[in-house]
Structure 1
Amino acid sequence: MAAAAEQEQQQFYLLLGNLLSPDNVVRKQAEETYENIPGQSKITFLLQAVRNTTVAEEARQMAAVLLRRLLSASFEEVYPTLPPEVQTAIKSELLLIIQLETQSSMRRKICDIVAELARNLIDEDGNNQWPEGLKFLFDSVIAALLQTMEDQGNQRVQAHAAAALINFTEDCPKSLLIPYLDNLVKHLHSTMVLKLQELIEKGTKLVLEQVVTSIASVADTAEEKFVPYYDLFMPSLKHIVENAVQKELRLLRGKTIECISLIGLAVGKEKFMQDASDVMQLLLKTQTDFNDLEDDDPQISYMISAWARMCKILGKEFQQYLPVVMGPLMKTASIKPEVALLDTQDMENMSDDDGWEFVNLGDQQSFGIKTAGLEEKATACQMLVCYAKELKEGFVEYTEQVVKLMVPLLKFYFHDDILLQESAESMPLLLECARVRGPEYLTQMWHFMCDALIKAIGTEPDSDVLSEIMHSFAKCIEVMGDGCLNNEHFEELGGILKGKLEEHFKNQELRQVKRQDEDYDEQVEESLQDEHDSDVYILTKVSDILHSIFSSYKSKVLPWFEQLLPQIVNLICPHRPWPDRQWGLCIFDDVIEHCSPSSFKYAEYFLRPMLQSICDNSPEVRQAAAYGIGVMAQFGILHAIYLAHILYFAYVTFCSEAFPLLVRVIQSADAKTKENINATENCISAVGKIMKFKPDCINVEEVLPHWLSWLPLHEDKEEAVHTFNYLCDLIESNHPIVLGPNNSNLPKIFSIIADGEMNEAMKRGDPCTKRLANVVRQVQTSGGLWTECISQLNAEQQAAIQELLNSA
């Protein structure tokens, strides 16, 4: 058999030669023969030809080209059909061939093959199915870059290598960088010391600038893993900031300021505090001279960003520096770009290099704006948002001037998206800051924002910016609460939201029409899918706004909501795409949760669709339906409203109907997979809420042992709290089924609590966390039972129980 295989391979080498033949007849016959070779054999023959250095160079190169083409054009048809051992052999062979190949053009072609295979072995979720390939790449890229950085004979090559290292580390996941960190840091430090000495002796700075940025990038990715190297770099970096004061060293100084602040952010406050005072004094000295800096001084943008990072590091302690940093920051954020109204001829005469952008107004006229300075303006606005977020009430002195700067940006039509998004993001943060001044001051600030936000929701054409504005508006309503919108606001907002929903349906219809067009292909579908995703994202923000309104206004907002009811009902129709049904159900979930008992009047619209959606194919729809069942059980209580008594029983009956469907989802074979876990946990939580709030619906004593076996929840934190609270209710009432005969279930309960703590399902300081800690402490007082419970936990669970006791 070996001889036959060898003969087949030799015939294949002959075939490769014929594929290169100048004789058309010979070549065409060879092409036909090649096409008829089965996929697995084709890969095997090609790989052998690439590896065999005794084959003619032209034939080897042809084999490499054909192998790459095969992996590119026919990967799905060929590769998955290969036995696993053959797939493994192919990957190992390719990595070995790269290392052994000495001919440069051939090595390039083999690299192309490896790249093509690696690309195909990354699935749709971004999971890498060839980790050995990635490791090989890291072992080769990193080593090559470090070696090139140490090429003392060519400064420019060194600088490019450092720049490439920056690009690499910026996108490299932390987990993949850590194994190479020690070697990486060692080379960076030796290069920095050498280049710092060159700067002192010769004044050369190009490589040092790049190395400083490389250090910053590595620290930013490594985060706390950079702590052991902190003392290696910080003294030299401080020395550069203190001494690089000449005009030609401004960029180096700016990059070093950036590096110090990024290292501080990476290693954390505890480690950085040993140098924080010195660093702040260096920054303050630079800031004092800020007014003397030229407008194009590169230090300005680095300083602004560095102050924001220092704010994140120091937290409330940063407030003392605001009087120093806010002046220059507001000055930069207030930059007004130069604008002009030009005829078409003048516009054409202006060079693109002048940094102007134009919008055609018709009638041979264009409106232009000079974009120079807008990037700095956007960065400054980002920093203001950072201060408001980090300092909260500590930023209150500046809220008025900042809000007067930010609100007009909502109407700033010549912007990059960052400016408007930062403006929108700042609004709820500024309200939070201003809350300390009392309701009157807060209301005045909100009135200044509100009209502009609503108008921007109605007019902003860019979907990314629009979604940010809508999200901001929803957050503002949550901050302000009941009464923040007057009748005019509601009327305008209702019309806008109705228009957004109608546009959503219209866009879906137009996409379906385009799918019937004769030009429809994969590229068109990709574009249509992008449009669909944008539309769905706006739909999520409509849901956010309604959620904030329902949670603030409760049932008194329902008459206003009814103008949107036909569109919301349309969203949950069975034929709609799953995101429509998901978000339509979420909106009705809010109606049930925040507007009961009045929610009953809409039961005819959502009861059946919600029941049918519990077992939907989409986990997102299942989750929304299960959450709805839970809040129906929790909030569907009518007190003494007799007229709706029959509807109350409709909810009770509905919970009974829903129960077996919830159990079916929980007990399905794939219930705990990554894509299904959130839906499953909402079903478990819903069962708990039915037992707690509608116990007449089911046989609680029969269900409880099953429910306990499904715990704990750890993905959906909010539902985990509901579940743990109910567990505490049962334990504190000494429920015999939960505790078991002679407290025999307590070890299992300890295991549930420990796993919840390990998965951070409970928040520090939350009443639920304290209740669970008290349960543990109560058992702790009875020595034998405590020993039995603890002994059945593994070491990690025991540590989690101790952590719970220490923190609650």
Structure 2
Amino acid sequence: MCIQFVNNPEKNESYRHSSLEVITSICESTPSAVKKRAHALIPEILKSCLLLMTEMDDDIEEWLAVDDVDEEEDEESANIGMSSLDRIACSLGGKAVFQPFVDIARHLLQDGDWKRRHAALMGLSTIGEGCQRSMEPKIETVVGTIVPFLQDQHPRVRYAACNALGQMSTDFAPTLQKKCHEKVVVGLITALIDLSCPRVATHAGAALVNFSEDCPKQVISAYLPVIMEKLEFVLENTFKKLVEQGKKLILEQVITTIASVADAAQDQFVTYYSKLMPPLKFILEQASDDRFKTLRGKTIECISLIGLAVGKDMFKEDAITIMTLLSNTMSELAPDDPQCSYMISSWTRICKVLGSDFAPFLPKVMGPVMRAASYKPDVAVLEDEEVQHDDPAWQFHSIGENKNFGIRTSGLEEKVTACDMIVCYARELKEAFAPFVDEVAEQTLTHLRFIFHDGVRSSAAETVPLLIECVKPQGLERMRSLWTRFLPALTAALKTETDLDVTVELISAVSESIDVLGRNGITPGELSEISVLVQEQLNEYEKRRQEREAEEADEDEDPEDANEKMNAENEEEAAVLARISDVVHSCFETFGPDFVSFFDPIFPAVVHLLDPKRHYADRQWSICMLDDLIEFAPQGAANYQRQFIDAMLRAVEDEYPEVRQAAAYGFGVMALKGDSEFVPALAAALGPLCNCIARPGARDTEEGVIATENAIAAVAKILKYGQINIDPTQLIPLFLSWLPTWEDKEESVHIYNYFCDLVETNHASVLGVDNSNLPRLLDIIISSFHLGAFDESDEKNHSVMMRMQAIVKTIASNEAIFQSLLAQANLDEGRLVTLRGILDPQQQAQH
């Protein structure tokens, strides 16, 4: 009945909206029942959402005339349809929603009515969050479907295509960026430079921001010349429109897009600094009209992000000039001026660039910052008739019996921002911030208990380890003078904290403080306190899980669906568990085997998390803690192994790549430790590791790739160090078939060191009959360099890189044979360029 109501345009609009809300609420409250008992209705539910999403205004002229990106369309039905679709997708999940939706969207995209095409495209971007695991392996197909609509005859359809690509760039990063970069970048740039439709061009620029934010540097760098050529063209032409017509829509966006591209490209952006900085500074100085406050703020943001990208040497002179301008201007701005937030965030970025050279500005900056951070909100309890609900400076909450609790919020957001700035200054300036440490420490202890805003408590927690590091040059006693006050405060705060985001920061403060203080900075008594803290947090984690399960109890609940569901609450809980794992990691890394006795009481709770019926994040982080036990206290792990090895063997073939990665890493570490007590476990792990690598879709997602490469590295470590009694003749050809790897740079050193061992010893399984495998070996080495398998800034990689270069040079020493091998290897032009760099290191350095 509800579906019929929604689908009937003759019915009153509010009834239709209420009917869809009923459907959506049922999907959210009893998703398993809907999937089991109303499975056939799911396509109809999706159609109802899409039908509302087609109810849009036909007046395109009004839509085109908008010059404010924040101006929203008054299209309530369409917005309700889209919001409901999002909630339904998140509730029912990708297995139930993705394929039915794709089937419906395919027909809508071929419809002559622009509203239907628009709804299909907006729908594809809306379901991404809920259907992430089902959709990501098909992302190339989905993107290929969307890109042609960037050229649609109707501007709102083109806008929707931009919207879809932008949202998916966020939802499926960095998989989309790695697999679909050419289609997306070329398509968005084409839409961006069509200035005849400012709203579409602006949205293309916004989508390019989303694409850039999580784009690997090597991907964005390849497109940098063409992207910047087009952005400079748009900047020049839209600045003319600002001067001549006062139009600012595209200009604001293109400045933001330039900032985002600079942030992604980092030092590769140096080439464009001298071209862009003068016009940006000109806008900053000339756009003084009140209409252009946001434009000026975005320009400040852009300049600071470019400075962060190109570095101190190039930016220092401009940074000091701009910093002087900003510090003089800031005092003149009203608190609600949109420029304020941009200026404050820009100060922090400039601080990051200048480092210790920012210190001279601190006395001028810290005065207003500390005043804002010290703000104490007024509170009041008022009768109902005394409350002035229209006063924007106050927020009131009913506490019953005609009483209302009120808090004056006008200075609260400024307080939060100031606390964030203090975090940045302490992090970036280190010992230069030392003169302010005592004052900030007192404030931090107070702010850990600040009940009126979780952001203040989070910033206070972040500040703790940073302040300890600021006084590190003053010696251990000075560091401990802070730590002995902070640890009890953190422990007390964790006992009363109810916000999980703040809990995450409080636990992080403990692990990061351990890293800063080191072995000599923490007493056995304090280590015992930390062990108890971890136990308490694991107990609280389990208690919350049981409470959620009790609330969500459903006789039709499918364990597999329950395990897959990763809503906002699950993500928050997983973040808590991840930070608990960080504390265990910090303790094992700092104290090694000496932490085992403190880990003993924690161990049962960790093993309890391995249950395959639990959420995958439980298994993932439990195994990460066991990995630390294996890596830093192998004898302790050997004593415990009977209680977790079977679970880890199962985890290598887990459905979830995050779990597979953690388990594969653990077996690799076991091999590296070379303990004979691990030999049976390592022999048993080879089969599951090979299955993990060969599983269908092993490389379809970013997480899958990392898990697969960890499994390959684990096999290499077992064969190299594992002491197992096995004939590697069959495994070695399989190992070679898995190469090259390139995503997990930390594991590359292990994978390619073993590869070099095999080649350098002329292993028959590697070279092949009559050296027939040489073209393949060349391709592996060249591709590993070409695809960026090594972090060249990490000295651990230098040795293996030199070994691989030496192998290529040895093969190349016979010119005739080498040319024949190259012909057989059939290298593309990019790999041939890489090869020339390997043979000529000087050329490689220039490249």
TM-score when scaled to structure 1? 0.72
CA distance in 2: counterparts of 1:109 and 1:420, whole angstroms: 47
CA distance in 2: counterparts of 1:535 and 1:703, whole angstroms: 40
Which residue among 505, 518, 527 is the counterpart of 1:481? 518
- Partner SS state of residue 698, structure 2: coil
Which residue among 635, 652, 658 is the counterpart of 1:597? 635
More off after superposition, 764-773 vs 273-282? 273-282
Counterpart for residue 204 of structure 1: none
What letter matches 1:91 in structure 2? Answer: L
How far has the Cα of 1:612 moved from its partner? Answer: 3.2
- Partner SS state of residue 761, structure 1: coil
CA distance in 1: counterparts of 2:745 and 2:308, whole angstroms: 26
What letter matches 1:474 in structure 2? Answer: S
1:657 matches 2:684: yes
Contact kept in structure 2, 1:662 and 1:687, CA below 8 Å? yes
1:685 matches 2:713: yes
- Partner SS state of residue 655, structure 2: coil
Which residue among 302, 323, 327 is the counterpart of 1:283? 323
How far has the Cα of 1:222 moved from its partner? Answer: 4.2
After superposition, the C-alpha distances for 1:154-185 in whole angstroms (9 at most, x for unaligned) are xxxxxxx9899867744555559999987776
After superposition, the C-alpha distances for 1:705-730 in whole angstroms (9 at most, x for unaligned) are 32222223323332222222333444
Q: CA 1:777/1:282 → structure 2, altered by over 3 Å: closer, same or farther?
A: same
Counterpart for residue 343 of structure 2: 303
- Partner SS state of residue 380, structure 2: strand
What letter matches 1:238 in structure 2? Answer: K
How far has the Cα of 1:462 moved from its partner? Answer: 0.5
1:780 matches 2:817: no
1:222-241 pair list within 5 angstroms? 222-223=261-262, 234-241=277-284
How far has the Cα of 1:668 moved from its partner? Answer: 3.4
Structure showing greater relative contact order (alpha-carbon pairs closer than 8 Å, 6 or more residues apart): 2
CA distance in 2: counterparts of 1:672 and 1:619, whole angstroms: 10
1:84-103 pair list within 5 angstroms? 91-94=109-112, 97-98=113-114
5+ long unaligned stretches in structure 1: 1-17, 22-34, 51-63, 99-107, 146-160, 199-206, 638-647
CA distance in 2: counterparts of 1:136 and 1:477, whole angstroms: 55
CA distance in 1: counterparts of 2:342 and 2:208, whole angstroms: 23
How far has the Cα of 1:783 moved from its partner? Answer: 1.9
- Partner SS state of residue 781, structure 2: helix
Counterpart for residue 220 of structure 1: 259
After superposition, the C-alpha distances for 1:104-152 in whole angstroms (9 at most, x for unaligned) are xxxx68855775577579982264453146514797259999xxxxxxx
What letter matches 1:124 in structure 2? Answer: C
1:718-733 pair list within 5 angstroms? 718-731=746-759
Counterpart for residue 662 of structure 2: 624
How far has the Cα of 1:750 moved from its partner? Answer: 3.5
Contact kept in structure 2, 1:630 and 1:689, CA below 8 Å? yes
Contact kept in structure 2, 1:264 and 1:272, CA below 8 Å? no
Which residue among 813, 821, 829 is the counterpart of 1:795? 829
Counterpart for residue 32 of structure 1: none
More off after superposition, 136-145 vs 378-387? 136-145
Which residue among 262, 267, 270 is the counterpart of 2:302? 262
Q: How many residues align?
A: 698
1:99-138 pair list within 5 angstroms? 115=122, 124-125=131-132, 127=139, 128=142, 130-132=145-147, 134-136=149-151
Counterpart for residue 770 of structure 1: 798
Counterpart for residue 357 of structure 2: 320
After superposition, the C-alpha distances for 1:23-52 in whole angstroms (9 at most, x for unaligned) are xxxxxxxxxxxx9xx99xx99xx9xxx9xx
CA distance in 2: counterparts of 1:258 and 1:280, whole angstroms: 19
Q: CA 1:341/1:379 → structure 2, altered by over 3 Å: closer, same or farther?
A: closer
5+ long unaligned stretches in structure 2: 1-7, 12-39, 56-76, 161-196, 214-222
Which residue among 366, 382, 402 is the counterpart of 1:344? 382
How far has the Cα of 1:340 moved from its partner? Answer: 4.0
What letter matches 1:457 in structure 2? Answer: L
CA distance in 1: counterparts of 2:102 and 2:633, whole angstroms: 59
Counterpart for residue 592 of structure 2: 554
Q: CA 1:529/1:748 → structure 2, altered by over 3 Å: closer, same or farther?
A: same
What letter matches 2:723 in structure 1? Answer: P
Which residue among 602, 608, 619 is the counterpart of 1:581? 619
CA distance in 2: counterparts of 1:285 and 1:121, whole angstroms: 43
CA distance in 1: counterparts of 2:95 and 2:612, whole angstroms: 34
1:241-640 pair list within 5 angstroms? 241-242=284-285, 249=289, 252=292, 255-256=295-296, 258-263=298-303, 265-266=305-306, 277-278=317-318, 280-288=320-328, 300-312=340-352, 315=353, 317-335=354-372, 336-340=374-378, 342-345=380-383, 348-351=386-389, 353-357=391-395, 368-390=406-428, 399=437, 401-415=439-453, 417-516=454-553, 529-635=567-673, 637=675
Query: Of the two, which has the highest radius of gyration?
Result: 1
CA distance in 1: counterparts of 2:293 and 2:784, whole angstroms: 48
How far has the Cα of 1:461 moved from its partner? Answer: 0.9
How far has the Cα of 1:464 moved from its partner? Answer: 1.5
CA distance in 2: counterparts of 1:505 and 1:337, whole angstroms: 37
CA distance in 2: counterparts of 1:681 and 1:439, whole angstroms: 41
Counterpart for residue 706 of structure 1: 734
Counterpart for residue 695 of structure 1: 723
Q: CA 1:518/1:328 → structure 2, altered by over 3 Å: closer, same or farther?
A: same
How far has the Cα of 1:546 moved from its partner? Answer: 1.1
TM-score when scaled to structure 2? 0.69
CA distance in 2: counterparts of 1:334 and 1:435, whole angstroms: 27
Q: CA 1:457/1:747 → structure 2, altered by over 3 Å: closer, same or farther?
A: farther
After superposition, the C-alpha distances for 1:238-283 in whole angstroms (9 at most, x for unaligned) are 34544677xxx47846852640441452487559987863563243
Which residue among 672, 693, 708 is the counterpart of 2:699? 672
After superposition, the C-alpha distances for 1:699-753 in whole angstroms (9 at most, x for unaligned) are 2344333222222332333222222233344455565654567766554343323
CA distance in 1: counterparts of 2:311 and 2:439, whole angstroms: 35
What letter matches 2:592 in structure 1? Answer: K
- Partner SS state of residue 342, structure 1: strand
Counterpart for residue 239 of structure 2: 192
- Partner SS state of residue 631, structure 2: helix
How far has the Cα of 1:631 moved from its partner? Answer: 1.8
Contact kept in structure 2, 1:79 and 1:87, CA below 8 Å? no
CA distance in 2: counterparts of 1:359 and 1:239, whole angstroms: 47
How far has the Cα of 1:762 moved from its partner? Answer: 1.3
Q: CA 1:345/1:135 → structure 2, altered by over 3 Å: closer, same or farther?
A: same
CA distance in 1: counterparts of 2:578 and 2:101, whole angstroms: 43
CA distance in 1: counterparts of 2:102 and 2:253, whole angstroms: 43
CA distance in 2: counterparts of 1:332 and 1:671, whole angstroms: 50
Contact kept in structure 1, 2:256 and 2:298, CA below 8 Å? no
Q: CA 1:407/1:802 → structure 2, altered by over 3 Å: closer, same or farther?
A: farther
CA distance in 1: counterparts of 2:429 and 2:769, whole angstroms: 53
Q: CA 1:176/1:507 → structure 2, altered by over 3 Å: closer, same or farther?
A: closer
How far has the Cα of 1:490 moved from its partner? Answer: 3.6
- Partner SS state of residue 419, structure 1: helix
